[in-house]
Structure 1
Amino acid sequence: MNLPKYNEIMPYALAYFAENGAQKWRHAEVPLAKAMNVSDEDALLEYASGNGKVFPDRITWALSALAASNLLERPKRGVYQITELGRSFLSRPQDVHPYVKEKAEQRRLEKLRERSETLPELVNDSTDTTPSEALESAYQEILSERYDQILDTILSKTPRDFEHLVAKLLSKMGYGGQVENAVTVTKSSHDGGIDGVIKEDVLGFGRIYIQAKRYARDNSISREDIQRFVGALAVAQSNKGVFITTSRFTEHAKRYAQELNGSTNLVLIDGIQLAKYIYDYSLGMQTARVVEIKELDSDFWDDMENDGD
């Protein structure tokens, strides 16, 4: 197999979108293969696991990395176009991958600071990384990319669509149980600060109220926003609410929610947690590939006598 690595595809991808404008990524596959002298035979090669073709997969990773570094942008789902920053790299293709790599490291560190979670290091060629560690690291990197794609896609839809998406997610998560049409979206013109309602029982005695805010990812939900929602819950004579956003909550907002001390049961779900739920509950997702790794069954093999015993 003589295929370019995904980082080698990046400069050619920038050149393609600079010349052709906004395009669906699938339209770039054949021109990129031609530009990089990839034969028809090599372009059709599939992974040994049977999980799809190698070359298109590398193209998608190259485009995602370029978009994450703001060299490309997605005006709508599946479509890419070059940015002004991307155009500045056309005359120095050798600098594209180092720049993308630097930006990826900055994002990794920012996520560590924002979420206070230790994410595995990116896969590299270090000799102190075991194959299992490299596999786990690659898996976490793919998850992070998928979460970004989910949020980018949500932000390309309307706020009303987001409210319906949240209702579908909560239903898929099991809220409302067996109650028919348990999760409903309120009318936008008279919602009173409530975007949706979950009926917990058939007669509707128990209700959970929903606030859904489709904000840009660098925005934040303030304490005042949470207070207004708590006020709306009081008007609705309920002490159960869930506030879901594509952005994040300020520390003051999170502290306020925690200090309600049971007078109001309020759950806050930020953008990253929302993306995780959508991924984990397979809402609008499909399985792209399955990798099965087996290990020896010790009980099976230990029942046999060792040679020389």
Structure 2
Amino acid sequence: MPLPDFQALMLPLLQLLADQQVHRTRAVIEALAAHFQLTPEERRQLLPSGKQFTFDNRVGWARTHLKKAGLLDNSQRGFLRITPAGQGVLRQQPPVINSKYLEQFAGWREFRGLSDQNAVTPAIADLTQTPNTPEEDLDAVYQQLRSDLRSDLLQTIKSCSPAFFERLVVELLVAMGYGGSRREAGQAIGRNNDEGIDGIIKEDRLGLDIIYIQAKRWDAVVGRPEIQKFAGALQGQRARKGIFITTSAFSKEAADYVRKIESKIILIDGQTLAEYMIDNNVGVTVEATYELKRIDRDYFIED
């Protein structure tokens, strides 16, 4: 089953606090997970950023909305407690608590930027209807922008010459930490008799091992025969490690083959190549940086 959105968590969260006792936030999160019968896999689901559990994030935003409405208190860090207003809401036995329901509370309207209950701007109205938390919406936009950039990057790479693509591959591997500098780390193999190898790179700055590179600026899927040829070239060089990079994709047979052979060959398809380039700032430039901040509650602890 899909994870409950943050609005679906509001009423169960308030009901868990109905005993008027102080509850640890972590215990409440686990109780809600049990209430919705979440599987371990669902509990481990992360936001697209990969830095927070999705369910924990949604519980956090349900808590924030209820707090802004004055229905619960979490002024003590890491703890939650229902307020008298929250008790009054539970006595009314509402079938659901969501953004529409919370519009009756002045504190929540102020939090959402509403001057009065009927003056809802289009932008705010959209925000109150979304099932996502702000972090999820922000991550979704970020992932879409990244996807567009990845697509544009691949198209640009495919328009470059094969020689430029081979240099790009070595530049990327250096940026990822292999070999040290571009001058000392990578070198091209002879064009006329490369035996299926386009370049080599040191595995580390000391050159304790050498990695052989095959780079294919292709549109067609790379199949097993090409990988077998590369594996044979590695054996001819008495090499143990290789990286095969393409702007297209690998067939299932090619992927299965590299898992069975003794040599260690890493396959990097076009989508992964673009991801690595973005992450290591190769062929891209930073246009803007946004920082997402939160209150440092430790700062406000008085001795």
The normalised TM-score by structure 2 is 0.55
- Unaligned 5+ segments in structure 1 are 1-117
Matched, 1:176 2:175: no
Do 2:217 and 2:246's aligned partners in 1 also have CA atoms closer than 8 Å?
yes
Q: Tell me, in whole angstroms, the C-alpha distance in 2 between the residues paired with 1:200 and 1:245.
A: 20
Do 2:211 and 2:242's aligned partners in 1 also have CA atoms closer than 8 Å?
yes
Do 2:178 and 2:204's aligned partners in 1 also have CA atoms closer than 8 Å?
no
Which structure has the bigger radius of gyration?
2
Q: Tell me, in whole angstroms, the C-alpha distance in 2 between the residues paired with 1:159 and 1:268.
A: 18
Number of the residue aligned with 2:232: 231
Q: 1:165–1:179: structure 2 CA closer, same or farther, 3 Å change rule?
A: closer
Q: Tell me, in whole angstroms, the C-alpha distance in 1 between the residues paired with 2:265 and 2:197.
A: 13
Q: Tell me, in whole angstroms, the C-alpha distance in 1 between the residues paired with 2:181 and 2:162.
A: 28
Amino acid at match of 1:247: S
Q: Tell me, in whole angstroms, the C-alpha distance in 2 between the residues paired with 1:203 and 1:127.
A: 53
Do 1:179 and 1:202's aligned partners in 2 also have CA atoms closer than 8 Å?
no
Give the deviation of 1:127 after TM superposition. Answer: 2.1
Q: Secondary structure at the match of 2:200?
A: strand
Give the deviation of 1:187 after TM superposition. Answer: 2.6
Give the deviation of 1:173 after TM superposition. Answer: 1.2
Number of the residue aligned with 1:208: 211
Q: Tell me, in whole angstroms, the C-alpha distance in 2 between the residues paired with 1:178 and 1:213.
A: 23
Q: Tell me, in whole angstroms, the C-alpha distance in 2 between the residues paired with 1:185 and 1:223.
A: 24
Matched, 1:146 2:149: yes
Q: 1:248–1:213: structure 2 CA closer, same or farther, 3 Å change rule?
A: same
Map 1:33-44; keep pairs closer than 5 Å.
Answer: none
Q: Tell me, in whole angstroms, the C-alpha distance in 2 between the residues paired with 1:298 and 1:304.
A: 11
Give the deviation of 1:130 after TM superposition. Answer: 2.1
Cα deviation code 1:199-225 (max 9, x no counterpart): 347886632110000012xx2111111
Q: 1:200–1:294: structure 2 CA closer, same or farther, 3 Å change rule?
A: closer
Do 2:217 and 2:247's aligned partners in 1 also have CA atoms closer than 8 Å?
yes
Amino acid at match of 1:266: I
Q: 1:223–1:284: structure 2 CA closer, same or farther, 3 Å change rule?
A: same
Number of the residue aligned with 2:28: none
Give the deviation of 1:196 after TM superposition. Answer: 0.3
Q: Tell me, in whole angstroms, the C-alpha distance in 2 between the residues paired with 1:211 and 1:183.
A: 13
Q: Tell me, in whole angstroms, the C-alpha distance in 1 between the residues paired with 2:228 and 2:237.
A: 14
Q: Tell me, in whole angstroms, the C-alpha distance in 2 between the residues paired with 1:276 and 1:179.
A: 20
Q: Secondary structure at the match of 1:244?
A: strand
The normalised TM-score by structure 1 is 0.54
Number of the residue aligned with 1:155: 158
1:197 to 181, 200, 209: 200
Q: Secondary structure at the match of 2:192?
A: helix
Give the deviation of 1:163 after TM superposition. Answer: 0.5
Amino acid at match of 1:278: M
Matched, 1:292 2:258: no
Q: Tell me, in whole angstroms, the C-alpha distance in 1 between the residues paired with 2:277 and 2:218.
A: 17
Q: Secondary structure at the match of 1:290?
A: coil
Deviates more, 1:134-143 or 1:184-193: 184-193
Q: 1:236–1:289: structure 2 CA closer, same or farther, 3 Å change rule?
A: same
Q: Tell me, in whole angstroms, the C-alpha distance in 1 between the residues paired with 2:162 and 2:182.
A: 26
Q: Secondary structure at the match of 2:258?
A: helix
Question: Over aligned residues, Cα RMSD in angstroms?
Answer: 2.6
Map 1:49-128; keep pairs closer than 5 Å.
Answer: 127-128=130-131
Q: Tell me, in whole angstroms, the C-alpha distance in 1 between the residues paired with 2:284 and 2:131.
A: 35
Number of the residue aligned with 1:7: none
Give the deviation of 1:148 after TM superposition. Answer: 0.6
Number of the residue aligned with 1:267: 266
Matched, 1:185 2:188: yes
* Count of matched residue pairs: 181
Q: Tell me, in whole angstroms, the C-alpha distance in 2 between the residues paired with 1:200 and 1:180.
A: 14
Give the deviation of 1:293 after TM superposition. Answer: 2.2
